[in-house]
């Protein structure tokens, strides 16, 4: 599909996306500036390929509840963390950029305290990135190039954990950051439950379950 700039004039239906080839790094930087920080679209860029995505409302609800679940776990474990949500992660030297649905700094949280922008030339990548319904190699390749240690992908009521090992992502049954918890089971269960009783009730029930596993 041929794209016509400026990107702010492109209207995407929720759940749709477009792919553009032969986009230079400077063009990508200009698109980020022109689009602004409050757009509902998300971008992924890897070695000249740009993808523009418009999430569905259901996508956003899943992001919120997974993020809240992670924060709940961290609170019960009394662990520090920093969340930068969908901040743009990019590095010119490897021609890669991505805007995760959510991202957390756990082991490296002190490196990004009070930072509004991340420069991966000097800052570490997030320890954990969350994506909903990834269907694009551009996104996965961008995360791999940026060396994000762990990526969770939630798709069609199923969660997959990818861990970075020897410069490639390997599927894992457990999270490196929450090894004592059956993340692959409890996250989808909580999301499914939220669709029946609402997010607040599901989170309350999830907290009670976690207390039996953690405390």
| CA-wise closest residue to 106 among 81, 135, 142 | 81
**Span 123-127, mean pLDDT?**
95
Q: Are 20 and 49 in contact (CB under 8 A)?
A: yes
- Summarised one tens digit per residue, pLDDT across range 70-92 is 999 999 999 999 998 888 999 99
d(CA 175, CA 131): 15
Tell me, what's the pLDDT at 38?
56
Name the DSSP class of 114: T
- Summarised one tens digit per residue, pLDDT across range 99-124 is 999 999 999 999 999 887 788 988 99
pLDDT bracket for residue 149 (50, 70, 90): very high
d(CA 73, CA 187): 11
Position with higher pLDDT, 9 vs 141:
141
**Span 153-176, mean pLDDT?**
94
- Summarised one tens digit per residue, pLDDT across range 29-62 is 998 888 776 567 888 999 999 988 877 667 778 8
Tell me, what's the pLDDT at 215?
67
CA contacts within 13 A on the Cβ side of 147 = 9
Q: Are 87 and 115 in contact (CB under 8 A)?
A: no
- Phi/psi at 89 (5° precision): -105, 120
What structural domains does the chain harbor?
A: 56-214 (3.90.1570)
- Only one residue has tokens 């990019």, namely 90
| Per-position b or e across 114-127, b if 16+ CB within 10 A of its CB | eeeebebeeeebbb
pLDDT bracket for residue 4 (50, 70, 90): very low
State the DSSP string of 20-73. E-S--HHHHHHHHHHH-SS-S-EEEEETTEEEEE---HHHHHHHHHHHHHHHHH
Structure tokens at 190: 């909580």
Residues in Cβ contact with 178 at an 8 Å cutoff, skipping those fewer than 6 apart = 73
């Amino acid at each position: 599909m041929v794209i016509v700039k400026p990107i702010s004039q492109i209207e995407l239906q929720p759940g749709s996306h477009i792919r553009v080839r032969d986009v230079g790094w400077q063009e990508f930087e200009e698109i980020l500036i022109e689009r602004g920080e409050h757009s509902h679209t998300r971008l992924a860029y890897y070695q000249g390929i740009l993808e523009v995505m418009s999430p569905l409302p259901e996508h956003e609800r899943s992001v919120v509840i997974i993020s809240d679940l992670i924060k709940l776990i961290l609170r019960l474990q009394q662990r520090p963390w920093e969340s930068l949500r969908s901040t743009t992660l990019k590095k010119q030297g490897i021609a890669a950029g991505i805007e995760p649905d959510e991202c957390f700094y756990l082991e490296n949280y002190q490196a990004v305290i009070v930072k509004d922008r991340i420069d991966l030339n000097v800052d570490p990548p997030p320890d954990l990135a969350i994506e909903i319904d990834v269907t694009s190699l551009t996104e996965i390749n961008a995360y791999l190039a940026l060396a994000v240690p762990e990526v969770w992908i939630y798709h069609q009521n199923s969660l997959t954990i990818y861990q970075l090992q020897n410069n490639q992502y390997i599927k894992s049954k457990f999270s490196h950051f929450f090894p004592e918890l059956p993340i692959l089971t409890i996250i989808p269960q909580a999301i499914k439950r939220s669709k029946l009783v609402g997010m607040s009730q599901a989170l309350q029930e999830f907290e009670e379950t976690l207390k039996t596993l953690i405390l």
